[in-house]
Amino acid sequence: MRFAILSDIHANCDALGAVLADVNRQGVQVVVHLGDVVGYNTRPRETLALLREHAIAGVRGNHDLMAIGKLPADQCGPVGRKAISWTRKVLTESDCDYLASLPAELRLAGGMLCVHSALGDPVVRLHSREQFAEEAEVLRQFDAELRVCFTGHTHLAQLVEVGPSGVLRRAPAADMELDPEAFCFVNPGSVGQPRDGDERAAYAVFDPDTRRVSFHRVAYDARRIMRDNARRGIKIGPRTGATGSLLARLFDAAP
């Protein structure tokens, strides 16, 4: 059974629809999301409806918590705060109930765990080799059976493998088989708000039988969500972030 891993949809229902169509074409059996369903973009209700229509399980992200008042919005920049304020005004009680029902973590059979960022902390960003090594130890203590952690939040697809002595391998989005002896982190990138300079929606597929992970990009009409955002006074598009220096920091120490 293969799993499609989606993260950081950020109220971009067009990107989500394109990804779900691509997942269906590939015959992937299970879809899960890693949170930040809302925020930034301005189609939150349509996005939530798609997730519920397809019965997609997932976890909560920091933007989901901000949208229902469980985290302060001041951790965002000005555009992010404005988007959260707008989102709070349009969500229905049912939408808020759905977001509130999302768990902090989701365990999958076969030693797999889904979180938004780090265990118990949807805000911290895992960047450094030391952070990944420390988080791997935390997760091993949390559940000795865990072997793979799916994590989002940074909007950048990558794979990190951790052994007893620290990080063994770190790579951007590249299809490969995971080391069966390592603890592995897989970040699928962002469906609705990529930060690698490529506006196409990003997601990953994992096959636990072969331990093979593949990263995918899906084109869609990104101009449409940008127009919707602009009409609602949110000047943001699906391609954001200063990518160069961040990517360098992520991968400059990779073995």
Report pTM: 0.92
Residue percentage of the chain with pLDDT more than 70 = 93
pLDDT, one tens digit per residue, over 76-97 is 889 899 999 999 999 999 999 9
The CATH number that applies at residue 81 is 3.60.21.10
pLDDT higher than threshold 90 for residue 153: yes
Domain of 67, in residue numbers:
3-251
Residue 159: pLDDT over 60 = yes
Length of the chain: 255
Band of pLDDT at residue 240, cut at 50, 70 and 90: low
Residue 120 has, within 13 A of its CA and on its CB side, a CA count of: 4
Question: What is the pLDDT, as a whole number, of residue 254?
Answer: 35
Number of domains in the chain: 1
Q: Are 103 and 131 in contact (CB under 8 A)?
A: no
pLDDT of residue 177: 95
Question: How far is residue 224's CA from residue 246's CA, in Å, rounded to a whole number?
Answer: 28
Distance in angstroms (rounded) separating the CA atoms of residues 182 and 161: 6
